[in-house]
Structure 1
Amino acid sequence: MEISNVRLHGVGRPVLLLPGGAESGDGFFPGLVEGLTADPGCQVIVYDRPGTGTSPADGALADAASHLSGLIDRLGCGPVVAVGQSLGGAVAVLLARDHPHNVAGLVLLDPTPVNDPRTCARLERTTGILAGAAAVPGVRSLLSAMVRAAAARVARRSTLRPDCAAALARTARLDVPTLARAVRGITHLSRNLRESDLPRIPAVVVTADRAPRSHVRRAHARLAQALGAPLVSWPGATHSVHLDHPDETLATVRTLVTRTEPPTGP
């Protein structure tokens, strides 16, 4: 079956990649597609849902989970292991809550804490303000230059692998109004999310190397507890944990995939 905007790589346990923000899936997770198709042998699904990446269609965050579940049904490949970073992690959580039959496991890479309404409200408010400022002549280019400069500093400090540095540079070319549209509605979704409604499936929550008492770190800890999952943090990991720790990220996904594989033999 041919479905627009879907890229399928390899064969085996299906893994759905969910990038952060409104980014395209192509090249967002350096080495993950190649690594998973080689070992343990996966079918990696790269797809830009409406409102993100290269998708020509408009879409809302509130519709993301149902849209992705419909995609999985159309592909006939469920249940999938959903790997999401940042906003993609929040979408993965919503997908597992609302359509658990289509999710075999979760790898959440410093996910936007959709279980913390205060943090989500701050995120939605901030991106909305920045999007409004970007409409002022000259401000949009100034914001873009500031983001690119910050990404360049991170790349220099972290001595990123070349493919990871290239991925960071691409994400630094973000369009603030598009990002604001991508997160619109996350406050409402967060206020209506009960951690007790999350399924107990194989999962892992990777959090950046931040202060233990930070709101985001504590939200990630609650999310891990609700899922019955370990909370993992690597020294020096930033929000872009998949770029500054690509090998650990690949190993984590591989381990999770093997935990979801059906038993073989009698």
Structure 2
Amino acid sequence: MQIEDVRVYGESGPPVLLLPGGAESCDGFFPGLREGLTTRAQVVEHDRPGTGTSTADGSLAGATAALSALVERLDRGPVVVVGQSLGGAVGVLLARDHPEQVAGLVLLDPTPINDARTCKNVERTASVLAKLAAVPGVRRLLASGLRAAALRNTGDLRPDCAAALARTANLDLPTLGRAVRGLTDLARGLRESDLPQRPAVVVTADRAPDHAVHLAHRRLATAFGGEIRCWPGATHSVHLDHPDEVLATVRELVDLVAAAT
């Protein structure tokens, strides 16, 4: 089914809203996930304003309002949110701002919106890269270096995951800079005590247990009353280097939500 800028796959089961990382398009971002879910869920793909193929202006601060309107328009909520990186942070904010529209969450190495210091570093880095990308000669060198770094370990990935990584390695740095603008202020305004109790799994990359991001992820899981998972060798792109485990985790949470309705 296609409704304007929204694609819905599957006829029954809980709706699952996919939120890609950065400013990426939803199309092809989560290899195998849509196909693996449509027998038990309705998978919703949508590029929110300011990201992906959307032609509408949008900001990170307005993301939850836009997604809330989407859920209302579809009239299929509440949704299970699956978000990676910045998409995971948006999922957290959606649950805080519109808890009645979120039935559960799977957060895949989410940007730690509950850690203002880390978010400040992320926003500052993205802003610097965006400014450098405005310089034509520097833009080519920067894009080439970032792409080479991203593709260094594609040989270990499943072919469809390697192809997805190759697509996302072509970063549009100015768009990414705009997509994370305001991240620090949003992080400063988030209180973990404001998050609702929901079935939730926070999947964190394989970092040291005392790493700031790992600790922030653990606090997020606790705030939702959920759990944290970490698989050996998982990177920030956990949806690509552990796609089978991600699919199994989302299926598990979808089944849990379905059983409760």
TM-score by structure 2 length? 0.97
- Equivalent residue, structure 1, for 2:87: 88
CA–CA separation in structure 1 for the residues paired with 2:233 and 2:217: 17
Cα gap change, 1:134/1:263 in structure 2, threshold over 3 Å: closer, same or farther?
Answer: closer
- Equivalent residue, structure 1, for 2:33: 32
CA–CA separation in structure 1 for the residues paired with 2:212 and 2:2: 43
**How many residues end up aligned between the 2 structures?**
260
CA–CA separation in structure 1 for the residues paired with 2:260 and 2:137: 59
- Equivalent residue, structure 1, for 2:75: 76
CA–CA separation in structure 2 for the residues paired with 1:34 and 1:62: 31
| Paired AA for residue 151 in structure 1 | A
Long gaps (5+) in structure 1:
none
* CA RMSD across the alignment: 1.2
Matched, 1:228 2:225: yes
Of 145, 150, 161, the match for 1:164: 161
CA–CA separation in structure 2 for the residues paired with 1:126 and 1:84: 21
Residues 227-266 of structure 1 aligned to structure 2 (within 5 Å): 227-263=224-260
Deviation digits for residues 216-255 of structure 1 (CA, Å, limit 9, x no counterpart): 1111011111111111000000000000000000000000
Query: How far does residue 2 in structure 1 lie from its aligned partner after superposition?
Result: 6.5
Deviation digits for residues 108-137 of structure 1 (CA, Å, limit 9, x no counterpart): 000000000000000111111111111112
Deviation digits for residues 124-182 of structure 1 (CA, Å, limit 9, x no counterpart): 111111111111121111111111111221213xx100000000001101111100100
- Equivalent residue, structure 1, for 2:100: 101
- Equivalent residue, structure 1, for 2:127: 128
- Equivalent residue, structure 2, for 1:175: 172
Deviation digits for residues 71-102 of structure 1 (CA, Å, limit 9, x no counterpart): 00011010000000000000000000000010
Cα gap change, 1:3/1:126 in structure 2, threshold over 3 Å: closer, same or farther?
Answer: same
CA–CA separation in structure 1 for the residues paired with 2:255 and 2:7: 23
CA–CA separation in structure 2 for the residues paired with 1:92 and 1:11: 23
Query: How far does residue 263 in structure 1 lie from its aligned partner after superposition?
Result: 4.7
- Equivalent residue, structure 2, for 1:57: 56
- Equivalent residue, structure 2, for 1:149: 148
CA–CA separation in structure 2 for the residues paired with 1:78 and 1:262: 15
Deviation digits for residues 180-214 of structure 1 (CA, Å, limit 9, x no counterpart): 10000010000000000000010000000011111
Match of 1:46, SS state, is strand
| Paired AA for residue 30 in structure 2 | F
- Equivalent residue, structure 1, for 2:181: 184
- Equivalent residue, structure 2, for 1:7: 7
CA–CA separation in structure 1 for the residues paired with 2:78 and 2:260: 15
CA–CA separation in structure 2 for the residues paired with 1:63 and 1:106: 20
CA contact (8 A) 2:2 2:8 kept: no
| Paired AA for residue 31 in structure 2 | P
- Equivalent residue, structure 2, for 1:213: 210
TM-score by structure 1 length? 0.95
Cα gap change, 1:263/1:114 in structure 2, threshold over 3 Å: closer, same or farther?
Answer: closer
